[in-house]
Amino acid sequence: MAFSTIRGASSGLLAVLKKRPRLRRRKSGSTPPVAQASPQVASLAPLTKIISQYLDTKDVERVKEAYRFSDQAHLGQFRASGEPYISHPIAVTEICAGWKLDAESLMAALLHDVMEDQDVPKLELAERFGADVAEIVDGLSKLDRLEFATKAEQQAESFRKMLLAMARDVRVILIKLADRLHNMRTLGAVSPEKRRRIARETLEIYSPIAHRLGLNALFRELQDLCFQAIYPNRYQVLQKALMAARGNRREVLSKITESVKAALPAAGIEAEVTGREKSLYSIYMKMVEQKKTFSDVLDIYGFRVIVHTLPECYLALGTVHQLYRPVPGKFKDYIAIPKLNGYQSLHTTVVGPYGTPVEFQFRTREMDHVAEEGVASHWLYKDDQTSLNALQKKTHQWLQSLLDIQSQTGDSGEFLEHVKVDLFPDAVYVFTPRGKIVSLPRGATPVDFAYSIHTDIGNHAIAAKINGEFSPLRTELRSGDAVEIVTSPASRPSAQWLNYVRTGKARSEIRHYLRTVRYEESVAFGQRLLNQAFDQLHLPYPADDDPEWDKLAKGSGASSRDEILADIGLGKRLAAVVARRFTPENPILATTAAAMDDITSVTNTPILIQGNEGQAVQLAPCCGPLPGDAIIGGIRLGHGLVVHMAECAVAQRQRAREPERWIPVAWDANTARHLSTRLDVTVINERGVLGRLAAEISDADSNIMHLTMHDEASSTAVLHITVQVDSRKHLAQVIRAIRHVPQVQKIVRVKG
């Protein structure tokens, strides 16, 4: 009996299947068995031929056993095309075999749908095929049986499960990519709406993952298949235009090929020269991004020169540059500085015959192997980092970063958002002060750079030096920049950083810090406010295990005492209302905002402000109060205590609307240093005045944080300066120092 047509020949397997009822759930869009007049029989012969070339006989038999199990499990199940469902796992396994994956990977590929579709327990797979196979299959199975509020939430959680499984074993994603590739190749049998949905998901998630892992051949095919599914008419029009252009330019390409093939041996270089076309999707995106027509996109053809050794790459490059004039700015050395996915090659664009721009790529055969198959070209699954090559180390670091992001993120949608950011394909390459190269996504800032070095450096960053000059933290980095981060123990992440960071690691670390530290600071500040309220009511502070805390939490939707204190610190509850819950005469006083009007007691003891309390206490940016100024504090819902100058017009308006939210505050004896305030300085617009001002401010032990200006008249200008000072007294010293500059006409402190 030919093995390729065996259908459930294992009596042991049949016995197992008979014991357990099976849920014959079909894939969406599949055709019921009754509709199949003459079902085709899937053949395993091509797969057996491939794997027999690199697996031993024992492993081949293990793969066949997995086939028998999968075939029996999917018996009676059909794809939307009418083929037996087993044809899909076989096709996926053939793709994996093309990457020469190991026996466990091939077994998992054959079994990848049996848990999800046929309710085969993970334990049964582990007993029959080993724990590794069971873990891989489990990582590939979606979360269909859990309850989710929305389809998007279910999908995001399934992605998170798969990506975390990938972080533990990269074989999970290799099999998933092979699965997605075969699904994309056979999309024609499903509805147009589902086709577009699957294609967009592939373009957004799986195609970038393939690129990140260096699977460039797979990456390009997925992009073209997605393009065809989403925009079928555009795909056909562009394909016809490319076929016509191919005929028109055949003479040019033949001439270039002959010239290069003659020049390289003459220079003593043995090389393989092949012509290639850019993918339809890449041509389409170039037309969209550069707003060009097809006829304007000239460099749709390129040549690949494959040599034996690395030095020959540069020799071949020089030889081609002698033949054809290179286009300035179009040379890229990815050998010296490989891409994030391990890609290495020399790229150059030259002006060919008749003025046609043509791209050349130069690489060794090993580089070409890695460029097409990426991490699958050297797949290793070892814990010993010393045994990994450069590509595997980069992949391992990226996979570990997924675990780091997961540890900082609770929400699956947020986790997926961070991963999408990290899959951004373009990159810039910058240098640390010690000359180490750091790869970052295009558009990354010094904040991204800081977090890529170490979390603590990111959390305490206050400034950046780019190429030796101070630059704002929001500056976009460019390839070749030398970046140095200036840190301070007093500095903390700002929510504004989220507006311009690009890496998933930076985004997740900032959000984690803001969530946890803000919560801790809010709890501590809420404790201070509640202590003050109890003092005002002449009551002792209740013990942490007082049962009234549990009653208060249950009655108001809080989960713990700390959450109540955090709500007080963030202004979501009033301390006086919570304190009254512990008075004998008012045991059930409401704790909501509606009860605020019932508060009759006014707290007279001021809260002491240091200025560095963190997220729970903020100095109002509208007036910039300093130690020594008369101040008042307002409890702002969700923001905690906001401290204003007493004369601030904004504070006075808000206090008139909600007087119950305002409490007395005063400066502590030990206040924070380096508080910001703003000055408007009117000067005679002469050469060198700005330098003299900066020198005087520095001599007064202050620092300029921000500076803008506008011309008042032809001879004067107003400088808007934000400076760091320690107190109102220190500010007075800075103002006196500024007055030493003869060109200064007027100085005004901005208070609103």
Separation of alpha carbons 557 and 559, rounded Å? 7
Buried b (16+ CB within 10 A) or exposed e, 607-631: bebebebebbbbbbebbbbbbebeb
Q: Which of 55, 79, 80, 78 is nearest to 66 (CA)?
A: 55
Please give the structure tokens belonging to residue 668.
Answer: 């502590």
Measure CA 70 to chain center. 36
Amino acid at 507: R
Separation of alpha carbons 408 and 410, rounded Å? 7
Separation of alpha carbons 30 and 24, rounded Å? 12
Q: Which member of 116, 132, 481, 521 is catalytic?
A: 116
The residues, any chain, with a CB within 8 Å of residue 557's CB and separated by 6 or more, are: none
130 neighbors 104 (Cβ within 8 angstroms): yes
| SS3 state of residue 490 | coil
Q: Which member of 117, 224, 481, 629 is catalytic?
A: 117
Look-up: residue for tokens 């300085």? 681
Backbone angles phi, psi at 314, to 5 degrees: -75, -35
Separation of alpha carbons 410 and 90, rounded Å? 37
179 part of the active site: no
The residues pairing with 108 across neighbouring beta strands, listed in sequence order, are none
Separation of alpha carbons 251 and 536, rounded Å? 93
Amino acid at 166: M
154 neighbors 141 (Cβ within 8 angstroms): no
**Pairing mode, if any, of strands 346-351 and 332-333?**
antiparallel
Torsion from C-alpha of 586, 592, 593, 594, nearest 10 degrees: -70
The residues pairing with 744 across neighbouring beta strands, listed in sequence order, are 683
Contacts 24+ apart (CB under 8 A), 484-490: 484/432, 484/433, 485/446, 485/449, 485/450, 485/453, 485/457, 485/461, 486/461, 486/462, 487/457, 487/460, 487/461, 487/462, 488/460, 488/462, 489/460, 490/612, 490/672, 490/673, 490/674
Q: How far is CA 122 from CA 92, 114, 118, in A?
A: 20, 10, 11
Separation of alpha carbons 724 and 142, rounded Å? 54
The total number of residues written for the chain in this structure: 752
Backbone angles phi, psi at 301, to 5 degrees: -120, 150
The residues pairing with 306 across neighbouring beta strands, listed in sequence order, are 272, 363
Amino acid at 363: R
Q: Which of 358, 260, 257, 365 is nearest to 310 (CA)?
A: 365
251 part of the active site: no
Q: Which of 489, 399, 503 is nearest to 447 (CA)?
A: 503
Beta-carbon neighbour count of residue 574 at 10 Å?
Answer: 24
Catalytic residues: 116-117
